[in-house]
Amino acid sequence: MSAGVAGAEERRTQSPPIGGVFELDLAAVLEAQDAPARFPEAQSVTSGRTALAILAEEVPGPWLLPAYLCDSVLQPLRRAGIPFEFYPVGGDLRPRLDELERSVETQSPAAILVVDYFGFPPAPEDAARFRALREHCLVVEDCVQGSLLELPDAAGGAIGDAVFTSFRKYLPVPDGGLLTGAKSRPLPPAAASLRERLLGQLLRGAWVSRQAEGPEVEAVFLGLLEAGEASLDEELPLEATSRLSERLLARLDLADAASRRRANFVALLEALDGSDAVTP
């Protein structure tokens, strides 16, 4: 018998995680039936980067971005030749709106990006000031980490003229997302661009269910997931949600996913309570 992965027993007996990269069960993938788009009123995209690439084409002027964000946000803007500057964000992840408002007045940007960090939109008083800036430029709300469509009374999406999300950040699908507030356009569904990520998620599912054993399994699926991200870094496809993800989305209980995410966040807060290293 192959050697087990160190720590695998503990990880496999716990509830499956919500967030990060999700495992996929091969049987569920094979059994998924054809289904219409779950959100036909919105522009379908394969990723948040695709949504930003579309907006960059529509709004080619200078953008103002929060100083705290991942480098992948910059990729579509750089490829479109969009100039951008940063506005400050505090250690509490609250934007420094006094400085942002001064920058809007002096720089006249074409667009401002607002990030709902970890799925939490800005505080109500900050949200009102962001909405007021819509009189001066396009306000784009980044909801890639959730809270846009899981519940009827969604917390996110109330600030931006344009809003986008990325399903794979909080649901067990290999790709997908949506964009509102932009001119709709036909895009081919993603296929080859998600090959490595899909294989990695399936292998991770086999490992979690004990259908695949051995210390090399985890390394292989992590390598596949890394390769999938690298392919996005090299080439940014303008594609819609894949047909596979549309089929999987039709089966998902989004409200349950939101409930489990909230439970995980509470557990995280409790684990960090009293820690001097991290401020939740």
Cross-strand partners of 66? 87
pLDDT at 96: 97
pLDDT at 95: 96
Residue closest to 46 by CA, chosen among 163, 156, 167: 167
**Averaged pLDDT for residues 141-160:** 91
116: CB partners within 8 A, 6+ apart? 122, 141, 142, 143, 145, 147, 155, 156
- Buried b / exposed e along 229-268 (16+ C-beta atoms within 10 A): eebbeeebbbbbbbebbbbbbeeeebeebbebbeeebeee
Average pLDDT, the chain: 88
CB 179 within 8 A of CB 239: no
pLDDT tens figures, 108-144: 999 999 999 989 999 999 999 999 999 999 999 999 9
Domain boundaries, the chain: 17-25+42-271
Q: What percent of the chain has pLDDT over 90?
A: 64
pLDDT at 10: 41
**Averaged pLDDT for residues 171-186:** 95
What are the angstrom distances between the C-alpha of 157 and each of 138, 150, 170, 219, 251? Answer: 14, 12, 16, 37, 24
C-alpha 120: how far from chain center: 13
CATH architecture assigned to 17-25+42-271:
3-Layer(aba) Sandwich (3.40)
pTM: predicted TM-score of the whole model, two decimal places: 0.88
235 pLDDT above the threshold of 60: yes
pLDDT at 157: 93
Write down how long the chain is. 280
pLDDT tens figures, 77-87: 999 999 999 99
Residue closest to 129 by CA, chosen among 154, 104, 163: 104
Q: How confident is the model at residue 269 (pLDDT cuts 50, 70, 90)?
A: confident
